[in-house]
Amino acid sequence: MGKGGKPDGGDGFEEASRDGCEQENMAAWLLGINTLKIQPFKLPNLGPRDVLVRLKAVGICGSDVHHFKNMRCADFVVKEPMVIGHECAGIVEEVGSEVKHLVPGDSVALEPGINCKRCELCKQGRYNLCPKMKFFGSPPTHGCLANQVVHPGDLCFKLPNNVSLEEGAMCEPLSVGVHACRRANVGPETNVLVMGAGPIGLVTLLAARAFEAPRIVVADVNDHRLSVAKALGAHEIVKVSTNIEEVSEEVAKIKEAMGTPVDVSFDCAGFNKTMATALSATGSGGKVCLVGMGQRELTLPLTSATAREVDVIGIFRYKNTWPLCLELLRSNKVDVKPLITHRFGFSQKEMEKAFETSAGGGNAIKVMFNL
């Protein structure tokens, strides 16, 4: 369980609510499949290195929808009531005695994962792989779709003056794209294919552009999302199907659209079909980076990719991305505002509508709560 708070009878936090809270803190609790309810959410006492943040913008992620629809996302299973949400930004209300870089009133974006700082992976700098990670809204850790949370100060990043709270919340999905581009060593000589034009595919496109990829092709089954990708800077877009029998034909279309060998492919959907396409489209000596988690298990045509020395790499969340994301937003090298297509308030009725909208797909890309 992270710093965010605890339910009654929780897992080790002090039972006392924070002293001096004038209003009861409320949060969105996932109680069962398709069942969310706004209920009280007790906060732990503020530690010397902690910050009390009043949330103002919280986005809905695909993993939130998976939890909402299935009570699980990949191997992360919700076994008891849990507060949902992990893409967030807000206003500092109180700081612990040892927090020097923030003061009440500061606007901040929150990195949602609290690592142990002691294991070998943390010491190596790969803290996103920490086996003891406590991550907002990933069971059993409570999330941030709440009025307030308590969070470590070193995971709260002050927003530049020209970066809004909504943009601050978008640092979380943007971080996935930035981490993927770092893992794949994207640069000015890297031609990029993005499979999937959902929210993560689109932020990966934005990150690849910021990393100066000279040519980017985006493939998807949805015409609207392809049009958004084109508007965001994709050099070419390719309409594909869900029929795995059409991989060869679609790879030919992708190669024609690219006009030069694909150096790096990002599969931002994570299905057998999208990975098979990415592996076949990537040039010899290139890389395929699996970003999406559409299926728990994949069956892939690796023999041909192996013969061409195509490297397959995975990513899990991100590490040390918030400073770069905020700089990209501050400098206008990345504009995430067009991705926010729907906004809702924080009431029971609007919360239910927000998750229905996000789960329904359609023209929705990023659904945002304004608290």
Q: What is the CATH number of the domain that holds 223?
A: 3.40.50.720
Q: Is residue 344 part of a domain?
A: yes
Judgement on whether residues 306 and 341 belong to the same structural domain of the protein: no
Q: Is residue 14 part of a domain?
A: no
Q: Is residue 324 part of a domain?
A: no
Distance CA(29)–CA(7), nearest Å, equals: 10
Judgement on whether residues 199 and 118 belong to the same structural domain of the protein: no
Q: Is residue 138 part of a domain?
A: yes
Helix (H, G, I), strand (E, B) or coil at 172: helix
Judgement on whether residues 357 and 250 belong to the same structural domain of the protein: no
Distance CA(347)–CA(28), nearest Å, equals: 9
Judgement on whether residues 227 and 195 belong to the same structural domain of the protein: yes
The residues near 51 (Cβ < 8 Å, ≥ 6 apart) are: 92, 94, 95, 96, 99, 102, 108, 150, 151, 152, 153, 156
Whether 357 and 45 have beta carbons less than 8 Å apart is answered as no
Whether 250 and 220 have beta carbons less than 8 Å apart is answered as no
Q: Is residue 326 part of a domain?
A: no
| Count: domains in the chain | 2
Torsion of Cα atoms, 20 then 24 then 25 then 26, to 10°: 180
Tokens of 281: 């489209």
The predicted pLDDT at position 22 comes to: 60
Judgement on whether residues 84 and 147 belong to the same structural domain of the protein: yes
The predicted pLDDT at position 253 comes to: 98
Distance CA(205)–CA(197), nearest Å, equals: 9
Q: Is residue 331 part of a domain?
A: no
Count of positions (residues) in the chain: 371
Judgement on whether residues 204 and 78 belong to the same structural domain of the protein: no
- Alpha helices, DSSP H, located in the chain: 62-70, 120-123, 165-169, 171-183, 199-210, 223-231, 247-258, 272-281, 302-307, 322-330, 348-360
Tokens of 226: 């392809």
| DSSP assignment letter at 221 | S
The predicted pLDDT at position 12 comes to: 30
CATH of the domain at 55: 3.90.180.10
Distance CA(224)–CA(238), nearest Å, equals: 12
Q: Is residue 168 part of a domain?
A: no
The predicted pLDDT at position 66 comes to: 87
Judgement on whether residues 98 and 214 belong to the same structural domain of the protein: no
Judgement on whether residues 225 and 310 belong to the same structural domain of the protein: yes
Whether 109 and 86 have beta carbons less than 8 Å apart is answered as no
Q: Is residue 227 part of a domain?
A: yes
- Which residue segment(s) compose the domain that 291 sits in? 177-314
- Given a cut of 70, the residues of the chain with pLDDT beneath it are 1-22
Judgement on whether residues 142 and 271 belong to the same structural domain of the protein: no
Whether 222 and 362 have beta carbons less than 8 Å apart is answered as no
Distance CA(180)–CA(69), nearest Å, equals: 27
Judgement on whether residues 188 and 121 belong to the same structural domain of the protein: no
Judgement on whether residues 186 and 141 belong to the same structural domain of the protein: no
